[in-house]
Structure 1
């Protein structure tokens, strides 16, 4: 189940909307990543990684390797950008109340409704005839109780609570990161190196110790063991950038990052290619052992960290320099992006359930699953947001 549980979330890039002019570039980046999440889940059954359909296509393996290696870290990064200003302008309890409303309530509702409905499709593939009521009772009482993609929501809430406590200790705690961000206006490579080294120090030891597949689980509360500190590093580094003078730092639309967007795109290709080399070594040279040797995990994890940081810079450079006048498709979708994340999982799994027995090539099945998931989850979110009070949550 965990191979299809990597997805993304409420990246509230405007945690304090009354205090900041909306950053269109970051809004578009967030919405783009939400679509990447839907694409990720739409193609997984047709890959070597999650081959649960009779058909497959090697190109989807390339898609999944890329998306799984960066988009969750990037979502946490974007989620952290406006946390520090929000804490500075909201009373502590008000901030926590807002996070519970925006994150805690959707997590609880989805954990007992949306997620069981999604995994019922998988249960029916293995045990035909199981009623939803029977499956729901088993999930709630006996387990397992998978979280699917909404694991992100409770982890983000935990990071927000941690940030609020750290802010009470010292509002200037992230000043060193912010100063480095200001230097990154002219030298983004220095900040990139900081991101690589900082995330590697927190990620590689856990990866070597726990391996790639270990998850911490307690009911619907789950998180990938090797990546929890990686995600924390991206969240708090993002918070450091946003602590002050966001427009004057590494993410300035007028900084060197945007001028060298093609350079960062090229840099991204090197660690991505090396991850494929390591996958070849794992399968063809060392025979796919379980557990994987520590040396292998350390080398692969290093390329993973390099790719994650590089593609984050490449994507942000593209959106920060984009001169497209709105409203674009991403602008129109922006308000519904979080809701689309919350409701898309049962939609995509049931579409894949119905497509399973159809005599179609993998590319056709994935295209149907992706575009239908986008359309249906967008429509469902638009309807849900018409419920009184729902816009404060979705």
Structure 2
């Protein structure tokens, strides 16, 4: 099965969005990052909140959809033993290297902002085998999902690839079911709480999208989405997207009540749980339709696509160091975000290109 070039272009854009997402959190958006330079300017806080909220609704879920799609195709091509070895190699090794080397390095870089000496701090963390999973929670989650897929194929006696092609009604039911599961899941594990670095509160959509990608691999539906179906869901995203923020402004600024969406028996938590999949489905289908192209792979995009996974792994220490330097500039946080984000994306892909030249790196990254 040929790999579609436009899906690789989407991976590049999603990787850049991850870096920009973390840059936004670093300079005032809600969320957690190694280094945070908060802002009290409402004119900055609101755009930051909108940017990271919309990102969170779809971008990691889109990664899981693509991962499920290509995992099923990979299993079909390689068989269970080689597929398992490949997953352990490509996910397990980066997870360990990041956890024991790059994660502690990023913590040490962020500590410079508080006056900690960089090398001594990093050495102290490394000496006590400090493990920091950071954004490589994604690799851990994919290891778990890949093991589940292997088990499922084993129980199904190595059944052939799924050939599911969802209709409008199926997508609607999936969005409603995902929203309901997210709301119930967050009663137990609100967003922001972690187990092994995994924010379980977001895993309703991650699980549905990974499973959907596996189920659609046989039909290659991601590569043949009809324009009418994409337009309909893109319209849904445009209509539903602003509603959560309007609701939040009314509750928080007009009524003076906290707009808590992380979990619990509250209307904001319920609204957020159902808002996410409808926005996600619309953006994902819209991007798939928009990026689809015919003809030969683009020579301009191919090197970036090859570097995307390595850029994702390497960006935390680079972005944190860039943010640390930008924090000293006499600029508003919004401009620091734009500057750090742009440099962070370019630096991450550049260092990724260099990393891929290391012996054995191409077989892992």
Determine if the TM-score, normalized by the shorter chain, exceeds 0.5: yes
Tell me if 1:277 matches 2:251: no
Q: Which residue of 1 aligns with 2:144?
A: 158
> Offset of 1:367 from its aligned partner?
2.2
Q: Which residue of 1 aligns with 2:195?
A: 216
Q: Deviations over 1:149-200 (max 9, x none)?
A: 111011111111110111011144874xx34x1xx4xxx4234214313423
SS at match of 1:294: coil
Tell me if 1:21 matches 2:2: yes
> Offset of 1:260 from its aligned partner?
5.1
Q: Which residue of 1 aligns with 2:336?
A: 365
Contact 2:109 2:118 in 1 (8 A): no
Cα RMSD for the two superposed structures: 2.6
Contact 2:182 2:204 in 1 (8 A): yes
Q: 1:130 aligns with which of 102, 117, 120?
A: 117
Contact 2:100 2:129 in 1 (8 A): no
Moved more, 335-344 or 48-57: 48-57
Contact 2:66 2:210 in 1 (8 A): yes
Q: 1:299 aligns with which of 234, 259, 271?
A: 271
Q: TM-score, normalised by structure 2?
A: 0.87
Q: Which residue of 2 aligns with 1:287?
A: 257
Tell me if 1:236 matches 2:211: yes
Task: Report 1:196-215 matches (<5 A).
Answer: 196-215=175-194
Q: 1:39 aligns with which of 6, 20, 24?
A: 20
SS at match of 2:195: strand
Task: Report 1:187-202 matches (<5 A).
Answer: 188-202=167-181
SS at match of 2:198: strand
Quick one: distance in 2 between partners of 1:138 and 1:316?
Answer: 42
Q: Which residue of 1 aligns with 2:104?
A: 116
Contact 1:268 1:314 in 2 (8 A): no
Given the superposition, is the C-alpha separation of residues 260 and 329 from structure 1 closer, same or farther in structure 2, using an over 3 Å criterion? farther
Quick one: distance in 1 between partners of 2:125 and 2:78?
Answer: 42
Q: Which residue of 1 aligns with 2:37?
A: 52
Tell me if 1:313 matches 2:285: yes
> Offset of 1:140 from its aligned partner?
6.7
> Offset of 1:100 from its aligned partner?
0.8
5+ long unaligned stretches in structure 2: none
Given the superposition, is the C-alpha separation of residues 201 and 48 from structure 1 closer, same or farther in structure 2, using an over 3 Å criterion? closer
